[in-house]
Structure 1
């Protein structure tokens, strides 16, 4: 925590100022402002200053994402600022946070979660012809840079084609809608479209009940994670008032599955969590090979009341995935990723 300046003449006490780190993308700044607005309402005596910065991957829109390294792709530069005391906490899209944080840092808070599902966005002018993935004809081009999405869609709709799509939401949608563009649809996170007021472009929500088979979202998707220094108890206490307990427990279970399988944020695992009764959490998970021809699935429901129980629950689901063949699939994906590191158009795990 830092202090600067003074309060108005009504008080001699210095105002507390907290500096909030975030990426500088439009969506990241919207997310940071959401957190800051909520914290201002809870702590009117505290001032908050948002400090946006571009990550290496934000600056470089050409290099394949995996070449930056799977762990900490969007977080490393921000964590350097946190370590140096230049910011007091960081607001992340939780799906971008590695499941193992650097020494001295903690996931201090998980805020109320936005819709975690993936969605279909159809090219302008084609909305009357296509609404869902099942509507698409053979050869229709799906835009995404996520192996998780590609693999799951291939599993259900092997007649579709895929092209890499990078950039922020506006950039991707412009590429989709370009008259000479090759894309028929995009697959995006619902949360990003909802937070940026573009929900009108959504034509289909994808989940475990989707026609033609389930489509599971990324670990932590839709959640905002706040990272802070482990020894900054004042900031940790202040952030706790914003935490959504159910979102935190569900996301901890999801992150535990991923951490157990690989310990990074780059494996193509799909998950879905749902509270189905008093303190009972249902977790569905899948790992699918790139071709969509092999898959390992898992599903468990258990009473979860604490963070420790959520982590243990994730371990059980990860073990079920392993028992059903997930590690074999991941070993092949990781071997191909290593072999393709110098190729022009590698698969991008996400």
Structure 2
């Protein structure tokens, strides 16, 4: 993804006080999006922080982001970066928020210089899943008849599935998780199934809707997930040592290193969420990280893959690992695929915890 755009000044907000280095009172303000899933994720972080620091008050503040406000336009048609983070970062930089809870996969790989990732929490189920229309008898995506419509707003998902099942059709589906499931379940609805993130369904208590898990080991046609999928990323101001210290107990080191490696790969390939880049990381043993990765053309007809094992014990080694895997993909021809994809638009396609 290209470097994060410069945040414009906003006259309605006070300028960032350079003396602010963290919460100025005993209340820590947590920012999040307004969706049900985002609020649940913010509450998870709130509760973990409260358990670790019972003497501190933590307050959740929700707001609508650019991606939330327009639920009609296909995500790949937007021309803006950071659809799910932009407005929240304003609050962080003007001091009205002390931290933001994101689905890590929605965070650009380049943050504003005044911001950083303060913590990555324990990773939930990172896989994509199939949610089949209840009235249909099929138990896997491989069983769908030719011409069946698969609902997804992600070209990463559609490209990988088209590679395995070229007879299927794909149609954009917008809205929060509940809205998308309603569109799927409608008797006259056109979707045979949706492709969603397992973690999102599990966090909102809808794991029973999962028909099939999709990963590299799925018989007949697995796909690799989005960079950072299943993890929560907590964004703070770069110089906020006080909030950083509060987050120490929330950091999951295995998740941190795996996700940093994935983000390094994505950053090196300069691929935003609009580019079909999938990953899957797995700790084989302590300090040994296996990364599977793929770059796919939009129609699924071309693909470059890599499977690499490396020792990863530090953040520096995680960054270097992602870089090395990206260079391997480029050597195998990934750059040709990426160059063929229109990268002139700054697009975010994988919607929040989709």
Query: Could you say whether these structures have the same fold, taking a TM-score greater than 0.5 normalized by the shorter chain as the test?
Result: yes
Contact 1:147-1:348 within 8 A present in 2 as well: no
1:323 to 1:349, Cα distance in 2 relative to 1, 3 A:
farther
**How far off is 1:52 after superposition?**
0.3
Unmatched 5+ residue regions in structure 2? Answer: 1-21
How far apart, CA to CA, are the structure 2 residues paired with 1:231 and 1:253? 24
Q: Which residue of 2 aligns with 1:81?
A: 91
Q: Which residue of 1 aligns with 2:82?
A: 72
Task: Tell which structure's C-alpha radius of gyration is larger.
Answer: 1
Contact 1:97-1:265 within 8 A present in 2 as well: no
How far apart, CA to CA, are the structure 1 residues paired with 2:226 and 2:38? 18
**How far does the alpha carbon of each residue in 1:99-124 deviate from its partner, in whole angstroms, 9 at most, with x for none?**
01101111010000110000000101
Output aligned runs, 1:12-31, within 5 Å: 16-31=26-41
How large is the RMSD of aligned CA atoms in angstroms? 1.5
Q: Which residue of 2 aligns with 1:240?
A: 248
How far apart, CA to CA, are the structure 1 residues paired with 2:75 and 2:163? 23
How far apart, CA to CA, are the structure 2 residues paired with 1:68 and 1:147? 14
Output aligned runs, 1:42-121, within 5 Å: 42-69=52-79, 71-121=81-131
> Which protein, 1 or 2, shows the higher relative CO under an 8 Å CA cutoff with sep ≥ 6?
2
1:153 aligns with 2:161: yes
Q: Which residue of 2 aligns with 1:273?
A: 281
**How far does the alpha carbon of each residue in 1:324-348 deviate from its partner, in whole angstroms, 9 at most, with x for none?**
111111111125x65xx9xxxxx97
TM-score of the superposition, structure 2-length normalised?
A: 0.90
How far apart, CA to CA, are the structure 2 residues paired with 1:264 and 1:321? 16
How far apart, CA to CA, are the structure 1 residues paired with 2:50 and 2:233? 18
Partner SS state of residue 334, structure 1: coil
1:33 to 1:275, Cα distance in 2 relative to 1, 3 A:
same
**How far off is 1:67 after superposition?**
4.0
Contact 1:66-1:348 within 8 A present in 2 as well: yes
TM-score of the superposition, structure 1-length normalised?
A: 0.91
Contact 1:268-1:349 within 8 A present in 2 as well: no
Output aligned runs, 1:312-331, within 5 Å: 312-331=320-339
**How far does the alpha carbon of each residue in 1:294-319 deviate from its partner, in whole angstroms, 9 at most, with x for none?**
00111100111101100000001101
